[in-house]
Amino acid sequence: MKQITLILALLLSIVIQAQTEEQELPYYEIPEYSETFTAGTVAARLVDALGFRFYWATEHLSEHDLGYKPNDSVRTTGETVKHIYNLSKTIVNSTLKKANIRGQKTPEMSFEEQRRQTLINLKTAADILRQSDDISQFKIISGKRETPFWNQINGPIADAIWHCGQIASFRRTSGNAINPKVNHFYGTIKE
């Protein structure tokens, strides 16, 4: 009987640890909204919404899910996650005023590493935007070319949101639907 109790206690602690680690990532829920409306707070909220959608679209994806694609002319879910990771680098680089280097080799990363870094990139960008009075300074820099922040909205941010929906759809089709307790309207998870 003591062994069973010990095993149950061990299993419970592992589950609690896993949940704690999962909640340590940004965007388990959307942060509280700002009390003021500025270009920076609105842009930050848009990135926060992307982070929340990405968090839940990619939560508990299996190897089967990551390899899924409905036909040969589209990316797999795993390739789509990598694409969103690359978009998140463009978004955060803009807020850090860093250039994007085309064709730059990225280190090989596991799905979990890509997911974590994407969420961190988005949180970093949102935090910078939230504090800014002038978001026009956050241009997309590619070589000598600078593109205005407007293109950040209809480019990388909108594209990444689009792909989060794609991941949610693909995972539903592969038999691993998104958590039904996710409330996208409020940016919360129903307990």
Q: What is the pLDDT of residue 110?
A: 96
Q: Binning pLDDT at 50, 70 and 90, where does residue 2 land?
A: low
> Is 12 a residue whose pLDDT tops 50?
no
Q: Binning pLDDT at 50, 70 and 90, where does residue 9 land?
A: very low
Residue 91: alpha-carbon gap to chain centroid: 12
Alpha helices in 2-157 (DSSP H): 2-24, 39-58, 63-67, 77-96, 111-131, 149-152
What is the domain range of residue 6? 2-189
> Is 131 a residue whose pLDDT tops 80?
yes
Task: Provide φ and ψ at 189, rounded to 5°.
Answer: -120, 125
Give the residue among 139, 47, 153 at the shortest CA–CA distance from 100.
139
Task: Provide φ and ψ at 109, rounded to 5°.
Answer: -130, 145
Please count the residues of the chain. 191
**Domain CATH code at residue 77:** 1.20.120.450
**Global pTM value:** 0.86
Is residue 19 within 8 A of residue 130, CB to CB? The reply is no
List 146's β-bridge partners, or say none. Answer: 141
Looking at residue 139, its amino acid is K
State the average pLDDT over residues 157-176.
Answer: 96
Residue 156: alpha-carbon gap to chain centroid: 12
Express as a percent the part of the chain with pLDDT over 70.
Answer: 88
Is residue 146 within 8 A of residue 139, CB to CB? The reply is yes
Looking at residue 42, its amino acid is V
Is residue 144 within 8 A of residue 24, CB to CB? The reply is no
> Is 11 a residue whose pLDDT tops 60?
no
d(CA 61, CA 51): 16
Per-residue model confidence as pLDDT tens digits over 45-99: 999 999 999 999 999 999 999 999 999 999 999 999 999 999 999 999 999 999 9
Q: What is the mean pLDDT of the chain?
A: 89
Express as a percent the part of the chain with pLDDT over 90.
Answer: 82
Work out how many domains the chain is built from and give that number. Answer: 1
Question: Which single residue is written with the structure tokens 């959307």?
Answer: 30
Per-residue model confidence as pLDDT tens digits over 95-120: 999 999 877 777 899 999 999 999 99
**Residue 155 burial (CB count, 10 A):** 17
